[in-house]
Structure 1
């Protein structure tokens, strides 16, 4: 999930809830594009006739609910993934900081990549479950639920099956990080102004461009990973994959040999089209959720308005503001009590 800017006027739990809500909301609404993308990467028959026909074939063969297969596990995966990623990133950054708290861009990039790998390792079985739930025909189900998918895969194929293709996550992290770094290094030249002056809209555009470039560079690794996650001799049609292989390197060879080099980017259209609405929905829903908490904390006059509450110091944290209000209320009460005594 893309990073959203932390607001110090919200508590840590409120920031986490906003980020979680935004991630679930954006993933759910863009799920049809994710389903088409993964089916295209695996190579199921639905995606042999092009991008638009894929939607029609999936609907005809499996119905409307097929476009939300695997969405629940994808949403559930957000929380442990984010928790592990943030914890690992903070620890690595702390190690590489100098005595004044500075860390170079390359080291920060390395920390982000390593944290991503650690988070992926912790949640990888959920990703395998997501792929298998999406690839199967929901009218002829092999797997019933998330727990059933993981437990059945473990019983029939062993623990390693739940981590099949994980090495490609590590390999794909390098071109992904390079793509992000290349874009963000040139943002000031693109907009002809320093990054601290970027508007929210500019930040959304920056995120979309960075994600588009980074995902395009790392896409072949993701394609092979999805095929490795889906393939199994114990599943109908070997899991729906369009090539059969014996390992990671052989998978690359078989794809190029049977389908050509460009097939490494099958599903890229759906993936690219998903980026803009995903980022737009992510930031919009985050801001909507944040408005509710800002109103609850007393910083704005309404959850439907951005108008600041009069007389409220916006630099104070929520607990500080609460203490300040309590102090002022107590002082006003004491002042009123003193006035009454004088009156009598």
Structure 2
């Protein structure tokens, strides 16, 4: 998967906030594509006329706000998801490093998959709430806001309803990791040069390719998961799901039997189109936020350019650089103070 490159000139808090803000911004901009994708996976009437008509039907039935349903929940989910994912990933990678601190690419990808599963376990109820908010008509809502959704699902359907379909996250992690690995092991052949020489543009393309292949392979599991999250006998039209089922296996069977195998990839067009703008905005916004932090930390001359500050050691961490500045300031202040005193 595409990820932002770690910069040791930022503090942990700055890195987290830059990544979180970039994630919120990119999710918000691409929210209409996410709404169309989720509705296509579930099989609501909006997706019956094709990809482009889905946007028009949502707008006609629910207004412009309908294209951003569930976005707040999705953005809120980013913060705990990112925190848990990073902490788990670092722990797993540390356990599998050799004496020289090296870890194979395959193990790193597996570590990323396991960290994603751990983060999904913690934040899964928010994903269920997001699905319910996307499916409902915002002009005739069953749920009002994130916490009302979680409370109502827990109260009327029980705690397990907030984790309905989670096993598909585990099953989907294998083809997802396999897709990432299949892309990354062939990158040097594709670019005809070793990975350490890749430019930022090449890394961006690599991330998009890996995301596209990985998400396509794991997409049927996500489709069934969304249907399980949405279906409820307590909702109008059973949550808008196009097939009725009693469990995960039965859902696969009913979808293939009634809609055909290819329906497991409904919404893939919106998902694929979303990849490039999502990761493009993610990287761009992260770099802009990073420049502001680097300017504040004293590494560059302006937050609007990447011109390095003269005389600043870029290899120093932010706290080390602050200590150096404080030391130089005290050293320069000392002689001036003593000369002033001698004049008096």
The TM-score by the shorter chain falls in which range? Answer: over 0.9
Question: What's 2:325 paired with?
Answer: 325
Query: Post-superposition shift, 1:30?
Result: 0.3
Question: What's 2:39 paired with?
Answer: 39
Moved more, 198-207 or 329-338: 329-338
Residues 1:169 and 2:145 are matched in the alignment: no
Structural RMSD (CA): 1.4
Query: Post-superposition shift, 1:196?
Result: 1.3
Give the whole-Å Cα distance in 2 for the aligned partners of 1:283 and 1:251.
Answer: 37
- Indicate the SS of the match to 1:169: helix
Moved more, 43-52 or 311-320: 311-320
- Is the CA contact (8 Å cut-off) linking 2:42 and 2:226 kept in structure 1? yes
Question: What's 2:149 paired with?
Answer: 149
- TM (norm. structure 1) is 0.97
* 1:228-243 alignment, distance < 5 Å: 228-243=228-243
Residues 1:121 and 2:130 are matched in the alignment: no
Residues 1:284 and 2:284 are matched in the alignment: yes
Residues 1:207 and 2:207 are matched in the alignment: yes
Question: What's 1:58 paired with?
Answer: 58
Moved more, 72-81 or 90-99: 90-99
Aligned residues, how many? Answer: 344
Give the whole-Å Cα distance in 1 for the aligned partners of 2:37 and 2:112.
Answer: 25
Task: Kindly provide the CA deviation profile for residues 256-311 of structure 1, in whole angstroms up to 9, marking residues without a partner as x.
Answer: 11111111100000000000000000000001101111111111111111111111
Residues 1:130 and 2:138 are matched in the alignment: no
Task: Kindly provide the CA deviation profile for residues 35-76 of structure 1, in whole angstroms up to 9, marking residues without a partner as x.
Answer: 000000000000001000000000000000011100001011
Query: Post-superposition shift, 1:99?
Result: 3.1
- TM (norm. structure 2) is 0.97
Question: What's 1:271 paired with?
Answer: 271
> Tell me, which stretches of 5 or more residues in structure 1 are unaligned?
none
Give the whole-Å Cα distance in 1 for the aligned partners of 2:230 and 2:79.
Answer: 24
- Is the CA contact (8 Å cut-off) linking 2:2 and 2:208 kept in structure 1? no
Residues 1:87 and 2:74 are matched in the alignment: no
Task: Kindly provide the CA deviation profile for residues 53-110 of structure 1, in whole angstroms up to 9, marking residues without a partner as x.
Answer: 0000000000000111000010110111111111112222222223333333333222
- Is the CA contact (8 Å cut-off) linking 2:3 and 2:207 kept in structure 1? no
Runs of 4+ in 1 over 3 A off after TM superposition: 337-344
Give the whole-Å Cα distance in 2 for the aligned partners of 1:285 and 1:179.
Answer: 26
Give the whole-Å Cα distance in 1 for the aligned partners of 2:220 and 2:232.
Answer: 20
Query: Post-superposition shift, 1:341?
Result: 6.2
Give the whole-Å Cα distance in 2 for the aligned partners of 1:284 and 1:110.
Answer: 27
Query: Post-superposition shift, 1:199?
Result: 1.4
- Indicate the SS of the match to 2:9: coil
Give the whole-Å Cα distance in 2 for the aligned partners of 1:159 and 1:266.
Answer: 29
- Is the CA contact (8 Å cut-off) linking 2:165 and 2:228 kept in structure 1? yes
- Is the CA contact (8 Å cut-off) linking 2:109 and 2:180 kept in structure 1? no
Question: What's 2:195 paired with?
Answer: 195
- Indicate the SS of the match to 1:251: helix
Task: Kindly provide the CA deviation profile for residues 190-224 of structure 1, in whole angstroms up to 9, marking residues without a partner as x.
Answer: 11111111111111111111100000000000000
Query: Post-superposition shift, 1:188?
Result: 1.2
Moved more, 102-111 or 73-82: 102-111
Query: Post-superposition shift, 1:112?
Result: 1.7
Residues 1:20 and 2:20 are matched in the alignment: yes
Question: What's 2:70 paired with?
Answer: 70
